[in-house]
Amino acid sequence: MMGGKHAQVTAIRRKNDDIEMFEMVSAKSPLKKRWGFLNKIPFIRGNIALIAASASGAKHLQFASERFDVEPGEEKEEVPSKLELILGVALVGVLSLIFGKILFTALPAFLASVLFQPYVTDLILQNLIEGGIKALLLLGYLYVISRAPVIKRLFEYHGAEHKVINAYEAGKELTVKNVLAQSRLHYRCGSSFIILSIIVGVVVYSFFSYDNVWERMGIRILLLPVVIGISFEALKLTNAVRDIPVLTYLGYPGLWLQKLTTSEPDEAQAEVAIAAFQRMRQLELTAQTDSSSPMNHAG
């Protein structure tokens, strides 16, 4: 899946080896479009971006899962309307995001309290232990799911996405050979956001004391929007300074995590990623041209 300012494109390779695409133009982020002013406010825009990305990402995954095993010329029967399906999938994506964030926030806090709080009284040290537990749970989870063939293939496509973007940013012609020669790691990846949220959480939680495990878990959940907002700004910062000596190391924790969430793609996967990117670029150019037309500024 490739996304730009105005368009998102997901490309899949069908069983007959054809490449089919799902496109969303001027609807990459419905929440951003509706609440545009919030998207300009630091620390708030990160929460809007995360929820919007989860909603639209769920729709792209739904397309991929439904279309892959459909024979050419054959369509699956759809009982719900298109609008109902889109809203339903988007809701599932957002709820999955919320559940996942709560689980990986409340569970480490619970384990840290039960296992270590009786022996560790320093608040900062307690938060460091909690952050360590969260990191271990995350790494363990990623390692386990990466063993599944379908997830392994998903991570290979993830690597292909990064390679295409790296090739484009390096000014290389988007050929399979040039793309495969690039790194599968990229500073703007969502994986970097995840590890940054753990680090930011350790700092933010250190400013709040608690009396028991339930209060500790409640504080963590209530502070989730704060942690997400700061982590989003930190991700933008690490990308902005990635070419500055010394400061480039700020983004390394996220790059290290991407070694788990990406894998080396094959030529066929690189072709799919290139097709998605090139189509996204075409739609972006069209959308930009349309937006500059005088007809679009009437009234």
pLDDT in tens, 190-226: 888 888 888 999 999 989 988 888 999 899 889 989 9
With bands split at pLDDT 50, 70 and 90, how would you rate the model's confidence at 242? confident
| Structural domain includes residue 207 | yes
38 close to 44: Cβ distance less than 8 angstroms = yes
Residue 259 in tokens: 């070694």
Supply the pTM of this predicted model: 0.77
Phi, psi of 7 (to 5 degrees): -145, 150
Q: Is residue 292 part of a domain?
A: no
80 part of a folded domain: no
Mean pLDDT estimate for the chain: 80
- 76 occurs within a structural domain: no
- CA–CA dist 94, 91 (Å, integer): 5
Residue 4 φ/ψ region, left for φ over 0, alpha for ψ in the -120 to 50 degree band, beta for the rest: beta
Q: Give the pLDDT confidence of 272-289 residue by residue, as tens digits.
A: 999 999 999 999 888 776
pLDDT at residue number 274: 96
Domain membership of residue 269 (yes or no) is yes
Provide the domain count of the chain. 1
Residue 96: per-residue pLDDT:
54
Q: Measured on CA atoms in the order 13, 80, 2, 282, is the torsion positive or negative?
A: positive
22 in Cβ contact with 9 (< 8 Å):
yes
Q: What is the mean pLDDT of residues 143-162?
A: 89
Task: Give the domain range for residue 136.
Answer: 2-71+87-276
Answer yes or no: is 190 within a domain. Answer: yes
**Cβ atoms < 10 Å from Cβ of 249:** 13
Residue 144 forms part of a structural domain: yes
* Local structure of residue 3 (DSSP, 8 states): E
| 85-141 tens-digit pLDDT | 444 444 444 445 566 667 778 889 999 998 898 888 888 899 999 999 999 988 888
Structural domain contains residue 77: no
Provide the pLDDT confidence category of residue 164 given band limits of 50, 70 and 90.
Answer: very high
* Rounded-to-integer distance, Cα 228 and Cα 47, Å: 6
Q: What's the pLDDT band for 65 if we cut at 50, 70, 90? A: low
